[in-house]
Amino acid sequence: MNARRCEFRFIADPKLREMLQRHFGMIRGAYDMACYPWTILLAGRSIELILLEGLNASWVRALASPKAPKGNSDIDSWGLADLIAVSADLGLVPPSLPELPQSAVRWRDLAGGGTLPNPSIEVWKEEAGVGLEVLLKIHRWLS
């Protein structure tokens, strides 16, 4: 795999696959240019899109998972933490997938103008790096 490019061959929808490939290049570029909030936003959204495709393809199993949020059968409205938990339960992501930092799990909040409790550059860099690494782990697992 090229450090700047991921093929995402496991994604069935060609438009989604192409978008994820573009996102990955932008994620790497944003990280390299120290644009850590953008790295977190794009990595969180990319992880979410990959998991949504997998869970929607097996929605009956996803809804039956003990990790699925109770009383919410709309997988598309689940938060990223729930998507990861159910995906891990179904074997769609590595069971050893580390917990994402709060910024990546709450990427939607950040997109709406939210921030981290301690917005130091070191914290942003660390969390962006974890988000990127989780995306790469999911890519390796599914490739």
The reported pLDDT for the residue numbered 122 is 86
Q: What does the DSSP 8-state code read for residue 43?
A: H
The reported pLDDT for the residue numbered 2 is 40
Helix (H, G, I), strand (E, B) or coil at 5: coil
Q: Is the pLDDT of residue 114 over 80?
A: no
> What is the reported pTM?
0.85
| 62-107 pLDDT tens trace | 999 999 999 999 999 998 888 988 998 999 888 777 565 555 666 6
The reported pLDDT for the residue numbered 128 is 87
Looking at every residue in the chain, the average pLDDT score rounds to 85
Task: Please provide the size of the chain in residues.
Answer: 143
Contact (CB, 8 A) for 13 and 102: no
The reported pLDDT for the residue numbered 93 is 87
Q: 2: left (phi > 0), else alpha (psi -120 to 50), else beta?
A: beta
Helix (H, G, I), strand (E, B) or coil at 61: helix
Spans of all domains in the chain: 14-114
Q: Is the pLDDT of residue 25 over 50?
A: yes
Number of Cα atoms under 13 Å in the Cβ half of residue 123: 10
Q: What percent of the chain has pLDDT over 90?
A: 49
